[in-house]
Amino acid sequence: MPGIALNEDSSHYFMTRANQPLDAGKVESWVDQYADTQVRELMLNPNAMRTSYASKVWDPIWRGYDPQAGDDQPLLASLAPADRVTPRKWIHTAWQLHQDGIDVYEHWIARCRRRGISPWISMRMNDIHYVDDEKCYLHSEFWRQRPDLRRVTHRFHAWTDRAFDYGKAEVREYHMALVRELVERYDFDGLELDWMRFGFHFRPGHESEGIPLLTEFTAEVHRLLDGWEQKRGHRIRLGARVPSRPQTALGLGMDAVTWARRKLVDMLVITPFWATIETDMPIEMWKDLLDGTDVVLAAGLEILLRPYPAFPGHPINSVETARGAAAAMLDRGADRIYLFNYMDDCGLPYSELLHQVGSLETVAGTPRRHVLTYPDTWAPGEPQAIPLPVPCSAGQTAAFRLPTGPRPDGGEVRAILGIQNDTALDGQAMEVRVNGELCPFIGAAELAQPRPDFPTYAFAAPPAAVNRGYNLIEVTPKREVKFGWAEFWVRP
């Protein structure tokens, strides 16, 4: 079974377990929900710019925190009063556990081993949440004091402008110090360098110069882990999270193919950043590139699902859409499904999720949705391919291609189209074909969430016309429409 790797971020536990009595046993019990599921690795993330444990080389999240003072204390003062409550939960819970002598990660690692889960540490390499607020509690003093080490210093258009510039030796050394501490402090099975928080590590236009720097950084971590394997008495693996498309990864300075071919990494997670799950990641291209290596290729699923960047709100995946994405990825050759931001309060039926999306066998027989989305990460200046929304004139044909995984045998398949500028459509309004075969109009699609606010319509795809892998919707409307949603709904 390919299985699941699941990322637990550095704040979620502390926020959601605030105001509860926590002892070591209670802390460890968090792991148990993943035991005897398809989760093979828990990727424990202990840091953003600060750490949720008592780091000696970086700032712990509670640096500057006064447990006796009110929410208006200096550490939280930059936030609006209403926004201080949740951060304080994180800070206070982490502080209290530290006071109580409980190292959460140490306990989780131990419990993982007892429950048959492989424990990893996932280090965020350049987290820049809320850097629009220089005084925000999240930031390290080093980051605050050294604006000269940021990747863009002459403007502020986006959080990523204020990411650290790994072109600078001080930045690399600062991050390597945390790597060293993590390796020394924790006995994990693997260390993941999470380059996708937030994915931008060099001055714009200097990414090519960055390629050998990140490769050497990776090689240094690899050597460090090699050195610890004897002390630990077991292998210590190295992983990395990188952009979903090899050309974009390279364009951002991450030469993941070279890392794999030089045997520096054992696992690669390809993933969008955050804005949406990316349902058409080029798995087979990566497999071709990784051919001859033993690298585990994990397909990274984010929790949000947007059809296009300006889509309103924060719609999250359902089990059906997560199954759809996973089925397509696994069928294309992914060795693992990697869940990011699918933490235990994510709102999905959790046990179902954890028992299904890690294997084609457990997805088989269940309904699944394959929704057209887009890649949310591009190198600076890289041309972007974003298929929706798209206008289509009367008599012209719009085409949408989606990978839908294994061929559904004898089930029902619907092509679903959402139209932004329409409120009512009948069976004569457009001709829809799947792989060239005419699809009868069914009517308004009754979609569960996630779904758009504009109308969606369903068309019956002849089961015999549906392929394994890519399937193509071609639609020819009789008057101009603007498509904002495209999907295959599959009930095997």
CA–CA distance, 241 with 125 (Å, rounded to integer): 10
Nearer to its own copies, 106 or 382 (CB): 382
Q: In terms of CB distance, is 354 or 371 closer to its own copies?
A: 371
Minimum distance between the CB of residue 334 and its own copies, rounded to whole angstroms?
16
**Residue of 125, 164, 172 whose CA lies nearest to 144:** 164
User: Shortest approach of its own copies to residue 413 CB, angstroms?
Assistant: 13
CA–CA dist 419, 430 (Å, integer) = 12
Measured between alpha carbons, how far is 10 from 14 in angstroms, rounded to an integer? Answer: 8
Nearer to its own copies, 227 or 309 (CB): 309
Are 119 and 108 in contact, with CB atoms under 8 Å apart? yes
Residues 6+ apart with CB under 8 A from 19: 89
Cα gap 207→172, rounded to integer Å: 15
Minimum CB–partner distance for residue 387 and its own copies (Å): 4
Instruction: Record the tokens describing residue 423, joined without a space.
Output: 């409120």
Contact 365, 492 (CB under 8 A): yes
Radius of gyration of the chain (CA): 23
Of 27 and 417, the one with the shorter C-beta distance to its own copies is: 417
For its own copies, which is the closer residue by CB, 33 or 393? Answer: 393
How far is the C-alpha of 310 from the C-alpha of 268, rounded, in Å? 29
Q: Please answer whether residues 484 and 420 qualify as being in contact, where contact means their C-beta atoms are separated by less than 8 angstroms.
A: yes
CB of 270 to its own copies, least distance (A): 13
Question: Shortest Cβ distance from residue 308 to its own copies (Å)?
Answer: 11
CB of 259 to its own copies, least distance (A): 12
Choose between 174 and 374: whose C-beta lies nearer to its own copies: 374
Residue closer to its own copies (CB basis): 179 or 398: 398
| Amino acid code (one letter) for 316 | I
| Interface ranges with its own copies (CB under 8 A) | 152, 154-155, 157, 203-209, 246-247, 250-251, 257, 261, 280, 282, 284-285, 288-289, 291-292, 374, 379-387, 396-397, 399-402, 433-436, 467-474, 476
Give least dist CB 91 to its own copies, A.
35
C-beta of residue 227 within 8 angstroms of C-beta of residue 268: no
The length of the chain, given as a count of residues? 492
Residue with Cβ nearer its own copies (407 or 451): 407
Tokens of 316: 């999250």
End-to-end CA distance of the chain: 20
List Cα–Cα distances, 479 to 393, 439, 482, in angstroms.
Answer: 6, 19, 10
Tell me the Ramachandran region of residue 303: left when phi exceeds 0, alpha when psi lies from -120 to 50, beta otherwise.
alpha
Q: How far is the CB of 405 from its own copies (least distance, A)?
A: 12
Closer of 227 and 427 to its own copies (Cβ): 427
- Min CB(401)–its own copies separation in Å: 3
Other beta carbons within 10 angstroms of residue 454's beta carbon come to 16
To which residue do tokens 């001709």 refer?
A: 431
CA distance 382 to 376: 12
Q: CB of 380: closest distance to its own copies in angstroms?
A: 5
Q: Name beta bridge partners: 271.
A: 243
Task: Write down the least CB distance from residue 205 to its own copies, Å.
Answer: 3
Strands 470-477 and 430-434: antiparallel
CB nearer its own copies, residue 354 or residue 379: 379
- Which of 56/154 has CB closer to its own copies? 154
